Amino acid sequence: MSQGSNFVDYVKICCRSGKGGAGSAHLHRDILTSMGGPDGGDGGRGGHIIVKGSVHIWTLLHLKYRKHIIAEDGMAGGSSHKFGKQGTDEILEVPLGTIAKDAETGEVLFEITKDGETKILTAGGRGGLGNAHFKNSVQQTPRFAQPGEQGQEVWNILELKVLADVGLVGFPNAGKSTLLSVVSAAKPEIADYPFTTIVPNLGIVSYRGGKSFVMADIPGIIEGASKGKGLGYRFLRHIERNSVLLFMVPADTSRSIKEEYEILKSELESYNPELMQKPHVLAITKSDMLDEELMDEMKQDLPNIPSIFISSVAEKNILELKDMLVKAIES
């Protein structure tokens, strides 16, 4: 399987929770009693469909081909106040950062952000009450019980927004994948043509004193991505979950560095203005081809954010870049 087909960040599934079991209308009988009082037990609850967060899963691939998720029905109640067996819950493990939505209305139901966190996506039907509940002074031997409640059948969307400490933002060929491969054990596809990265790559970056942070290489955006051009919204949404945004502009850009940064920034702002509240750091990549004099000249026209000249290939200023990023994360 290629990298692209391995990463699935959106699935639409039909969820059918279990029907509740019927309550029992049984009347007590034994050797001494031919017709005793009501002793019908309650029906069991139908199975829920539950979403559970897991740090061991990075994608929704395992749910891509499971279009119908069906939980078990509850069993009917029995005599002698015996409860019916509860329907088995269907548990769907998902990566952290998964959002559940109603497919018809688009309403966000909940978000999973912690390992082991569980939320009910589709509740099972309640079990019916047995006839023992309906006995009173007027009605000593009720011969009826409640049916079980029907389960629900709804279409839901599960959508993943990658959770990372640092999101890499830049046009195609800005050197994002190369940086990720140098600072972490991630092995992204790297080639000298636009849109090499078609899915987010995640890497764990080791830092001093045993610390580490997560870096995500978001696919290169182009002007108009916020309007759905290029790879569009599908990948911009992953940037929402990053604590710090590292803008990457190559030293050999045909525009000025400041101009390219402003274009990238305006793309993100038109998609979601809240992204402007996150700390921004600027890395000028491929700077091993620059001499000190040229760098000093370029520094005069940089945007007013923490900036650094780096070269991933020559490993120039990589440790200093990590220092800047950790400072931004911790702030």
User: Would you list which residues are annotated within the binding site?
Assistant: 170-177, 195-199, 217-220, 285-288, 311-313
Give the CA distances from residue 85 to residues 41, 42, 46, 78, 130, in Å, rounded to whole numbers and listed in that order.
Answer: 11, 9, 9, 10, 14
Contact criterion met (CB below 8 Å) for 15 and 121:
yes
What letter represents residue 279's amino acid?
P
Which of the 8 DSSP states describes residue 80? T
CA dihedral 29, 34, 36, 41 (to 10 degrees): 30
Tell me how far apart the alpha carbons of residues 267 and 261 are, in angstroms, rounded to a whole number. 10
Structure tokens given for 161: 């927004």
Q: Phi first, then psi: give them for residue 179, nearest 5 degrees.
A: -60, -45
Q: At what angle do helices 232-239 and 257-271 cross, to 10 degrees?
A: 90
**Binding site per annotation, positions for Mg(2+):** 177, 197
Contact criterion met (CB below 8 Å) for 57 and 97:
no
- CA nearest to 97, candidates 242, 209, 272, 197: 242
What letter represents residue 254's amino acid?
S
Q: Phi first, then psi: give them for residue 39, nearest 5 degrees.
A: -135, 30
- CA nearest to 202, candidates 47, 70, 42, 6: 6
Spatial CB neighbours of 187, under 8 Å, sequence gap ≥ 6: 181
**Binding site per annotation, positions for GTP:** 170-177, 195-199, 217-220, 285-288, 311-313
Contact criterion met (CB below 8 Å) for 203 and 322:
no
3-state class (DSSP) for residue 92: strand
Tell me how far apart the alpha carbons of residues 232 and 62 are, in angstroms, rounded to a whole number. 24
- CA nearest to 183, candidates 326, 6, 1: 326
